[in-house]
Structure 1
Amino acid sequence: MNFPRTALSAALMLATPTVFAQEPATTAASGTSVASTPAASTPAASTPAASTISPGTSHTLDRVEVSGIRDRLQLDAPAPTASRLGLSARETPATVQTLTQEDLQFKGLRTARETFADIPGAIAGNVPGNPAVVMMRGFSGNAVSILQDGVRVSTSTVVQRDTNTWHFDRIEVIKGPASVLHGEGALAGAINKVTRKPALDGTYVDALLSGGSFNTSTIAFGANVQMNEQLAVRMDVSQLQSDSLYDVDNNHTRARGLTGSVLFKPTERLSILVAVDHYADRYDSTYQGVPLVQASVAKDPSGILQSANGLVIDKALRHRNYNPDGAYSNAEETTLRSRLDGALGGGWTWNADLTAYTANRAFVLSDTQTFVAPTASFPGGSFNRTLQRFYHDHQFWNARTAIANDTTLAGLRNRFTVGVEYNHTDFSSLRQSAPSSAVAAVDPWHPVVGSFPTGSSVYTAGNLNYDSVLQTRSVFAEDGLKLAPEWLLVAGLRYDDIDLSRTVTNYNASTDPAQVGAVQSARPQYHPLSWRLGSTYDLSRTLTLYAQATSAAVPVSSMLLQSIANTSFKLTQGRSAEAGFKATALDHRLSLTGAVFYIRQTNILTRDPADASLTVQGGRQSSRGLELNAVAVLTPALSLGAGLGYVDAKYDKLIEAGGAVRTGHRPINTPTSTANAFASYAVPGTPLTLSGFVHYAAGFYTDTANSIHVDGHTTLDASMAWKTSRDTTLTLRGRNLTNAFYGEYSGYPTTNVYLGAPRSVEVSWLARF
């Protein structure tokens, strides 16, 4: 019996049991089987018993509704980001979390940053040079890998953008080291953005229209067209635009996407997917956060920040933007990919992925805005500004193939996969910077921002071109052995052969004209070996315990942008141990997961204790903590959910310039605890669903000296969703309803803090035709 797809309405999915509706249909009685459901969740039978239908005749069935509770933590769903063995989230000895497209719509998560910040134990910020940067389990930047449909293009600090989420079927998250699956990096985890793809389940159109505060609007459409039983096509287009998602002056924002794919399944044993994705974004006068000022001159000083040098956040500067006119950040990226999946018989399967990617990015902005004490020209103080123009020309391609088998060894079920991967990157980046003397200082409260210089003569602080060719050859293997019906042992191994050719050309004539065009080059090679060993044990059908030990390898800085000096350093090493549980209860109406973890990174850069002018390896950073997640469908109308993360992160050994000892200090942008919760109630007898969302993050430091502290914050969102028809939902949403004034993330320099968006409202219309 084929059930048509239900509406893309997360309010209904979360607040009520999942309902599959069968419209009146004609079926032959002879040889037809009807799916059975538990009697407790099936309405009174309204169809004749099969025995009353004469063979060879047809009968029109009445409408049948089949209800069932969906496991919101998806413990029994496949977790491909966390394993290539086809393991479910419950079988995987790691913390695995998934945000589906329904979840994104239900929670109102419009962008990558909003989505990443909703991951328990994580926070995210929109640093202009690294939009949607993530801190997870005490580590951030290039220690968190961002994947596109399972492929890591490069370090997240290079490729990640604050993408519109309409194009993603789901966001998959694996916590803890994942180098054994996805190569260097991934010390704190990996986030996989999985694009919507065609389905052989009919023809339909999805649509989303929304509008709200700060002139923010979204228009998005998608169509799935089933051509026949073997062929389907999907295409999605979207545009999000806003005067500013942060309600900041001169910060017009737009993000566009166009994705399309074709699925061909000529037989049950072969599947072919071909897809193309194109994304473009632009942020005018990128928001650098609010610069701190001396308390003595602040007009409306806030108490949310404490500093050792008397600097404060002035609430009077809440909406100010100090970028010169003409500053911007943008990116255009296109990905072409194909995937083949084949069943070879005898439990053997084979797959192959081919990905080609190209991107152009620009970062033209005032990257540093520093407070200067009052002078005769500026009696209230001023901001000195520096300028930068960074450009990326990025090409990448990746080929990966693997063979897998699900078989029996000595009476025990064994699943294994082995594969190879090769990728090639050509990357060029012109990086120009100008001193504060190149642009006029501005009055903090009455800024005349001026225009961004278009000539090249002002870029005397730095004018370098980085050319990189990176080749990586990898071999990987995983195995999952069922030692007993309830006991699974999982192991993985990956070897990477990394060959980097780096050339840096100096175009800066101000230092030494004879050195203009001088070239430095290096060709480092790295050979990391990453591993994982873990186990899951089912104490019962609903409770699983797990533990694992893993490793990771991470460069000392972004591999494509590290200085020639840094190419001489080895990869840092990461080790982690984790243990936890995954459980369901109350007939799968309650899902629970919990984990404790420890991560240590060694060989980070520090200063030589005997000579602080020398940079050496030998520093250490670690984190330990716990995470809990729970979702409960208490009644057909009421759903609750909550997530909690706690992390104790510190530098175990770190000396900085001048011999400053940071040992024992907490890393920047690392709150000790984060939490989120939701409650959703479908008002009986009406098409109305009421939902509330709470987010909390403890305070964080903006500097390794731990001298500037930003207080924690709590925000409250709420929505009212009115189901105008079975496949259409109208939602009124409010964000930050208490209008909390809070710091979201710190930027560059450490005296800039990104402020969270003030209270806003939005109306959206979501439909499927």
Structure 2
Amino acid sequence: MTCSAPHLRLSPLAVAVRCGFGLCLVGLAPAAVAQTEEVTEEVTDVGSDTMVVSATALKVETPLAETPRPVSVVDQEELEERNVQQLDETFRYRAGVLAGMYGSDNNTDWFKVRGFDQSTYQDGLRLYREGYYQWLPEPYGLERVEVFKGPSSILYGEAPPGGLINAISKRPTDEPFGQIQVQAGNRDHRQVGVDVSAPLSEDVRYRIVTVYKERDGDLNDTHNDRYYIAPSLEWDISDDTQLTVLASLQKDDGVPTNAFKLPYGTVDDTPFGHVDPQTNYGEPGYDRDQRTQAAIGYEFSHAFNDTWSFEQDFRYSDLDLDLRSTYITTYPPVTSGRTGPRGHLQRNGEIESYTVDNRVIGKWYTDRTENTLLIGVDYQDLSLEGKEFDDFAYDTIDLFNPQHGNYTPITDDQMTDRAIDKNQTGIYVQDQFRLDDHWVFLGGVRYDMADTDNVNETTGVKERADDNQVSWSGGVMYLSDIGLNPYLSYTESFEPITAVDDGGSLYEPREGKQWELGVKYAPVGWDGYVTLALYDIEESNTLVTSPQGIQVQEGERQSQGVEIESVGYLTDNLRLTAAYTYADAELENGDRAPLIPRHMASTWLDYAFTGGLHGLKVGAGLRYVGETVDGDTTVDDYTVGDVMASYDINRHWRAQVNVSNVTDEEYVASCDYWCYYGESRSVIGSLTYNF
């Protein structure tokens, strides 16, 4: 797959026009809508600390129990309790999200949401992940992660129909806080993290989060080292105006973990037995993965009065990548013998992006109604300039006893120069209308204008796409007195694809639509929730993997399913997290979509002791993934278990141990032309000092 992202070629005047358009709306909006009556706003008690207030679903802070959109949240406490090391470990115990289908990858986070790929955002702004140019959020720098399930183009522009992941960065705290954490574990895991926050004055606060971590990959002779620092500053300019500045710098250096295996030797028997899960078909002495990612941005908010406010989010980011990767190929297919073909790819380039989102929010009330109007303009500009190389018939290797070191280095004159520029402007309107504290009506519309230029600078061939799209959404929810809230919603998605096909041509935009019927239950007096959702998603211009192992665009894809999810306290000390997913994902020809299981289920229990064992907390969970199919290949279901234990030695010190795949289960996680073993057992011990 070829990857790309745009290079900023935007004049200062254009930036001013696009960023200032939201400010123009602020000036016009009060004249367009008048507040009919001054009514004191009432804060609704949703009865649950677990069903949190979030802005991901509506871009306006709203209790999730009162939102006709499905969002699941993993907060900082849970991230720490399960010692999440990669973003794709976050939602192992939530419904509708599949992770780990490609095993443990040290340079990419892999998710499938409701049977589709997803977009990744950080602090409400998109992270550009084009092909092999992958932006990787560091979990130690996050205070929570949210998944918005289903199409989300109405507020976020281009997005796949499955959903999006929104990672929220750690922010400055009102009270002084400090933490030093040291970790060690198997696969030579070493990590040191420092997190410090304090006020600089009555109105200004800062926070600095730093991490150094190193760990071997799940394949032989692979590893990754990471340096990370994220300073942030929060300034209360006035009672009505606040500015938060967020920055980060991260450097990764390692040998990529290519988990690709063949069906031959994994799910299929051979005269030579099965391939060991840790077998590395790459070239450790030649392959490398070096990336540096940096970002700086801000969140600005200003309240003009009790009715109108303005918010603006901005981020500039830069990702520099030097990737060499050797991998096993599936074409021609191997059905006998000991050797298999290898491919080799290289990417050496830089992605640069600017993103700005302007929002005007109006709220007004009457005796019976509450209305929240959101008007927004966002702009995204990205560019990629770099060199690339792909050879799908690089050489061959012994599948059962690979010998490394016999490779031919790629010279610079074999590389292709690639430049991709993309910009997108979106205008959106959303209105949330609440009637008699029982009915919530939601409606929205968005218009996107997206332009993409893809230039092979070596051959001079240029591809251009101009895509305009209107997206709609709507929903209705009934808020009952007992906290049982049924809802019905409709949403659409639109996704221009920056990558090109094997012939160098741009793909057509993917489009999706979803109907969803669900209910959210968050009774007063219980710290917990239960949700049930039934959904039907259709996507056109679907990307699928061809028998040659390349991405082609053909036909439609449909995903129908049921999701049940619950997080809550059974007693004051015992908390249960449980999820079940049924997903029927099919391609246009009626075949089941590869990678997607019909059934997934998970449950996690944690218990905090009191009395003589006060400070001790233990937890354990099971994750079940049903069988998957890839053409004539069937991958068996599997179940893995995770455990943890922590002990608060005193108010400063905590010791903790986490074990995932506690029995070291050996299993094939999925097949999609290639096959992938699941991650082996992981053991990590932590010692944390809080001050």
TM-score by length of 1: 0.78
2:342 is the counterpart of 1:401: no
Maintained 8 Å contact 2:463/2:505: no
Maintained 8 Å contact 2:131/2:499: no
Equivalent residue, structure 2, for 1:684: 610
Maintained 8 Å contact 2:640/2:665: yes
Equivalent residue, structure 1, for 2:227: 256
2:54 is the counterpart of 1:83: no
Equivalent residue, structure 1, for 2:470: 529
Equivalent residue, structure 2, for 1:176: 150
Write the letter of the residue equivalent to 2:382: T
Partners of 2:168 and 2:238 in 1: how far apart? 24
Partners of 2:552 and 2:254 in 1: how far apart? 38
Maintained 8 Å contact 1:522/1:564: no
Maintained 8 Å contact 2:328/2:343: yes
Write the letter of the residue equivalent to 1:431: E
Equivalent residue, structure 2, for 1:269: 240
Q: Which runs of 5 or more structure 1 residues have no equivalent in the other structure?
A: 1-67, 295-301, 506-516, 608-614, 654-662
2:565 is the counterpart of 1:629: yes
2:389 is the counterpart of 1:432: yes
- Structure 1 residue 574 displacement after superposition: 0.9
Partners of 2:328 and 2:658 in 1: how far apart? 35
The structure 2 residue matched to 1:289, chosen from 260, 273, 276, is: 260
Write the letter of the residue equivalent to 2:79: L
**Where do residues 241-252 of structure 1 align in structure 2 (5 Å cutoff)?**
241-244=214-217, 246=218, 248-252=219-223
Partners of 2:682 and 2:164 in 1: how far apart? 31
Partners of 2:208 and 2:616 in 1: how far apart? 31
Change over 3 Å in CA distance of 1:316–1:70 after alignment to 2: farther
Q: Secondary structure at the match of 2:77?
A: helix
Offset from partner CA, 1:649-682 (integer Å, 9 cap, x none): 101x2xxxxxxxxx11111211112121111122
- Structure 1 residue 239 displacement after superposition: 2.1
Offset from partner CA, 1:174-209 (integer Å, 9 cap, x none): 10000111111231101011111112x211112221
Equivalent residue, structure 2, for 1:574: 512
Partners of 1:226 and 1:374 in 2: how far apart? 62
Maintained 8 Å contact 1:286/1:329: no
Question: Superposition RMSD on alpha carbons, in Å?
Answer: 2.9
Partners of 2:66 and 2:84 in 1: how far apart? 29
- Structure 1 residue 586 displacement after superposition: 7.4
Equivalent residue, structure 2, for 1:490: 442
Q: Which runs of 5 or more structure 2 residues have no equivalent in the other structure?
A: 1-44, 546-550
Maintained 8 Å contact 1:273/1:338: yes
Offset from partner CA, 1:366-390 (integer Å, 9 cap, x none): 1334599999xxx951132121112
Q: Secondary structure at the match of 1:90?
A: helix
Equivalent residue, structure 1, for 2:460: 519
Equivalent residue, structure 1, for 2:682: 760
The structure 2 residue matched to 1:319, chosen from 278, 284, 302, is: 278
Maintained 8 Å contact 2:106/2:256: no
The structure 1 residue matched to 2:77, chosen from 82, 91, 102, is: 102
**Where do residues 69-148 of structure 1 align in structure 2 (5 Å cutoff)?**
71=48, 74-75=50-51, 77-125=52-100, 131-140=108-117, 144-148=118-122
Partners of 1:738 and 1:359 in 2: how far apart? 38
Write the letter of the residue equivalent to 1:628: I
Write the letter of the residue equivalent to 1:288: A
Equivalent residue, structure 2, for 1:215: 188
2:273 is the counterpart of 1:332: no
Offset from partner CA, 1:688-723 (integer Å, 9 cap, x none): 22211111111223x4xx122221211111112111
The structure 1 residue matched to 2:326, chosen from 350, 354, 366, is: 366
Maintained 8 Å contact 1:373/1:382: no
Partners of 1:489 and 1:553 in 2: how far apart? 23
Partners of 2:326 and 2:558 in 1: how far apart? 33
2:424 is the counterpart of 1:447: no
Offset from partner CA, 1:127-149 (integer Å, 9 cap, x none): 86971121111112xxx110021
Offset from partner CA, 1:717-736 (integer Å, 9 cap, x none): 11121111134321122221
- Structure with larger RCO (C-alpha < 8 A, sep 6+): 2
Q: Secondary structure at the match of 1:553?
A: strand
Maintained 8 Å contact 1:164/1:256: no
The structure 2 residue matched to 1:722, chosen from 647, 651, 659, is: 647
Offset from partner CA, 1:451-506 (integer Å, 9 cap, x none): 554342795xxx4332111121111111101133210101111111111122123x
Maintained 8 Å contact 2:48/2:523: no
Offset from partner CA, 1:150-182 (integer Å, 9 cap, x none): 111435655544543100111011100001111
The structure 1 residue matched to 2:529, chosen from 591, 605, 610, is: 591
Write the letter of the residue equivalent to 1:318: P
Write the letter of the residue equivalent to 1:725: N
Report % sequence identity.
Answer: 21
Partners of 1:336 and 1:347 in 2: how far apart? 31
Partners of 1:423 and 1:371 in 2: how far apart? 38
Partners of 1:69 and 1:585 in 2: how far apart? 7
Deviates more, 1:404-413 or 1:392-401: 404-413
Change over 3 Å in CA distance of 1:243–1:683 after alignment to 2: same
2:173 is the counterpart of 1:185: no
2:590 is the counterpart of 1:664: yes
- Larger Rg belongs to: 1
- Structure 1 residue 766 displacement after superposition: 2.7
Write the letter of the residue equivalent to 1:546: Y
Equivalent residue, structure 1, for 2:411: 456
